Each structure stands twice: as C-alpha cells, then as structure tokens.
Amino acid sequence: MEPEIAHDESAILDRISGTVRLNVRCRVGAARRGIADRLMPVIQGWKAEHYLRCIDRMPFVLDAPLVGVGSMCRRHVQGENGILRIVDELDRAFAGTGVRLHLFGLKSDGMAAVRGHSRIASCDSQAYGLAARHRARKDRCAKTDAMLAATMADWYRTQRQALDRPDFTFRPPVTSPMATATMITSVEARIAAAAEELRRLHEAGEIGWTDLSPLAAYQMAFLDDDPAD
C-alpha cells in the first residue's frame, strides 16, 4: 500500500480488495482444516480510511482476538498517515471489542511510540535482517544462519533496553487534519463506480485479480452505451 508500490488511490483500493479476497479464502481454508481459531486476519492500507474500509468489508475481524496491521514499515511516527494516527483510528474502530493488534514491520522508534498502548499485542521487524546483510557485505563474508541469529539477539536486547525504560507513556497523535474535498467530473464518478463494482465482484470471488484495472473499469463504465451516441 506504500506510495512507492501503489501509486494512486485506485491502485490502493484494488489492493484492498485483493486483501479482502485473500482473507476470506484463508478463513474458509482454515475452517475446513479446523484451525480457524488460530487464524490472524490482516488489514492493509495507507490512510486511516483504507483500514476502516478493510474492516467494513471483513466484519469478521471484529470477533478476532488478534488482527494483523500491514503496511507499517515505511511510516513516520507522527503525521497524517503516521503510526500514531493509524493506531489511534484503529483503536476507535475496534472500541467495545477485545481485538488486539499485531503491527508488521515497525522500526525502533515506532515500537517505542506505541509502547504501553493497551490495543497493541505485539509487533515485528526485519531490521535485524537488513543489519545482518549490511554487516556481511561490509565484512565480505557469508550471511550465515549463525550470524543472522546473533544479529537478531543483539537487536532484541537493544529493543528490550529501550522498551524497559521507566516513565514512558503512550503518546497520542496530533489532532487529525480536516479532509479536503476533491471535485470530480461525472465521467470520473462513473468510472470510479465501475471500479468499485469490479472490486466487489473480486471480493466475492466472481472475477480474478487480473480483472481489476483502470481499463476494465473504463470498459465497464461505458459498456451499455450506444456506440452511435
């Protein structure tokens, strides 16, 4: 969902539909195997509203004890789309439930920022893997399992020291900025509606991921038009 990967809003919404579809398939498969109670659903997004869209389309996450939150690794702590803003919005969205969150890909400052938040159950990071890769390149040696394990242990001890510091409380985000309305033309609205219908069809398993594209939305938007018009 990061801007480097999903370059516009339409691409993000398509990827959310893919997330919904995969979660549903995993849930069905887990139930078939009798391990549904061990399945952690995952929501994705870039803006807070994207995560809320995931929740709206996957209402079963409201009953899950643990929900994974993706697309966190490239975020700043503060800001409109920062870690604190997203956690705060999700905390509100899951109010009244027992849902706790696992945050994927947090760096050290992100872990420290959400420390003490009752909604956060756990988080993970691949920072130690990146550090081991740089170390191997610098020392001109192989990145062995033993070296990776040692780097991970060092990284873990550093994180524990930071998280165990006293007198730390969770820092809430700054006041959310007002959303800016965007004017769209009737043609753009028609194409957007068609794209939304395609996403719903994909989430329902009626069309495949490759059927989600700007061209498909355009064709669907004007499919019923008389060529003579």
| CA 6/CA 12 separation, integer angstroms | 6
pLDDT digits (tens, 9 = 90+) for 10-65: 999 999 999 999 999 999 999 999 999 999 999 999 999 999 999 999 999 999 99
Tell me, yes or no, whether 67 and 149 share the same domain. Answer: yes
The tokens of 68 are what? 């994974």
Domain boundaries, position 225: 181-229
| Alpha helix segments (H runs only) across the chain | 9-33, 48-57, 83-93, 108-114, 127-139, 145-163, 186-203, 214-221
| CA 198/CA 191 separation, integer angstroms | 11
**Residue 89 near residue 51 (C-beta atoms within 8 A):** yes
The reply to whether 1 falls in a domain is no
Tell me, yes or no, whether 152 and 80 share the same domain. Answer: yes
pLDDT digits (tens, 9 = 90+) for 137-171: 888 899 899 999 998 898 888 888 877 776 555 66
Tell me, yes or no, whether 140 and 217 share the same domain. Answer: no
Q: pTM of the prediction?
A: 0.76
The reply to whether 213 falls in a domain is yes
